[in-house]
Amino acid sequence: MASRRAFLIVMFLKFNKDPWGFIWIATISGLNKFDGHEFIPYTNHDTEFHIPFDFISDLVISPDSMIWLVGQNAIALLNPQNNDINKIQIDSRSAIYDQSFSLNGFCFDKENQIRLISHLDEYGKSYLHKSSKNGQLVDIFECQGNYINRAIIRKGNHYFLSYKENSLLEINEKGEKIKEFNFPLLKLKTHPTTWINQIQFTNGSTLWVLFNNGQVFYLQQGDSEFQLHPNVIPIDHNHSSSLLVEDNSESGKVNISCTTYKLVKEYFKCNHKGKVTVKNKGEIDMYFVKSPYSA
């Protein structure tokens, strides 16, 4: 694996693949592009491959192949075809303007403008934002609940996002509330508070949600309320953060990542499914959850 330029990496935080096959790697010391033969680093100090900040905690590739870079209290948009970079300005009326914040939970609207969720570190508050056509990040509304890691997904003209503890909010393009789904409150020793970590649609109709305590709920098309998946029970150990339910999976089966498998293997019987490519994560081992071990 030859490289004409140094691979600037102390710790890589995220990687993704664009439509042209290039691998983009976010690190604490800059952005790296790998073309299969060499690494090209992008840094704040480089004039040819310039980015406005070096610490990149996340990167997301939009449907129009633009690369969104997330840093400390900052977000930027990179055009990978000509290396044009624009730092997204925070609207002066925003709750996060001139504040210390983190960003998580990303999706895109029909015009490929980003929607994301921020967390104000000092005040413990979270907000839903969108990028406007003039290139600014503006507020939509404040999210309820005091937790950092949230999820959001778009389905048609509607969005589903982690809202309060134990609730999922459905909104329209304008941010108006359509429906709030409330889930049973369950407290374990290591989970005094539970919230939704991940949201996923399969077959274009079934909506799945993963809670930080390992609970999995699903909503089938035509149903009005979520159902608890019968083969997954909460685990009083660390946080569950990854769930993959495949469109071509066998009916009723739940896939978990290798990270989650290591946490649950003492509690559940699992079958290794093989390796799959997961958006924003790359190729990882996946397992089918079969059933809990007898007490």
Kindly state whether residues 192 and 280 are assigned to the same domain. Answer: yes
Mean pLDDT by 10 residues, the chain (295 residues): 48 82 91 89 92 92 94 93 94 94 90 93 92 91 89 94 92 95 73 80 84 85 87 52 54 69 78 71 75 65
Closest CA to 240 of 220, 219, 268: 268
Kindly state whether residues 108 and 170 are assigned to the same domain. Answer: yes
Kindly state whether residues 217 and 165 are assigned to the same domain. Answer: no
Give the residue from 182, 210, 242 where a domain finishes. 182
Going edge to edge, which strands form the sheet with 196-202? 196-202, 206-211, 216-219, 227-228
Give me the DSSP letters along 88-107.
Answer: PEEPTTSTTTTS-EEEEEEE
Give the residue from 162, 182, 202 where a domain finishes. 182
Its domain, for residue 170, covers 88-182
Helix (H, G, I), strand (E, B) or coil at 109: coil
Kindly state whether residues 55 and 13 are assigned to the same domain. Answer: yes
Kindly state whether residues 272 and 189 are assigned to the same domain. Answer: yes
pLDDT in tens, 155-213: 999 999 999 888 999 999 999 999 999 998 666 555 567 888 889 888 768 899 988 87
Kindly state whether residues 190 and 246 are assigned to the same domain. Answer: yes
Kindly state whether residues 110 and 173 are assigned to the same domain. Answer: yes
Asked if 211 and 240 touch (Cβ cutoff 8 Å), the reply is yes
Kindly state whether residues 133 and 42 are assigned to the same domain. Answer: no
pLDDT given for residue 205 in this prediction: 83
Burial pattern 157-186, b for ≥16 Cβ within 10 A else e, equals: eebbbbbbbbbbbbbeeeeeeeeebebeee
Beta pairing, strands 114-120 & 101-108? antiparallel
Asked if 104 and 119 touch (Cβ cutoff 8 Å), the reply is yes
Kindly state whether residues 188 and 178 are assigned to the same domain. Answer: no
Give the residue from 182, 213, 238 where a domain finishes. 182
**Cα dihedral 129→147→164→183 (10° resolution):** 130
Asked if 202 and 231 touch (Cβ cutoff 8 Å), the reply is no
Kindly state whether residues 288 and 192 are assigned to the same domain. Answer: yes
Kindly state whether residues 233 and 162 are assigned to the same domain. Answer: no
Q: Under 8 Å CB-to-CB from 283, ≥6 apart: which residues?
A: 275, 276, 277
Gap between the Cα atoms of 139 and 165, Å rounded: 21
How many distinct structural domains can be found in the chain? 3
Kindly state whether residues 92 and 178 are assigned to the same domain. Answer: yes
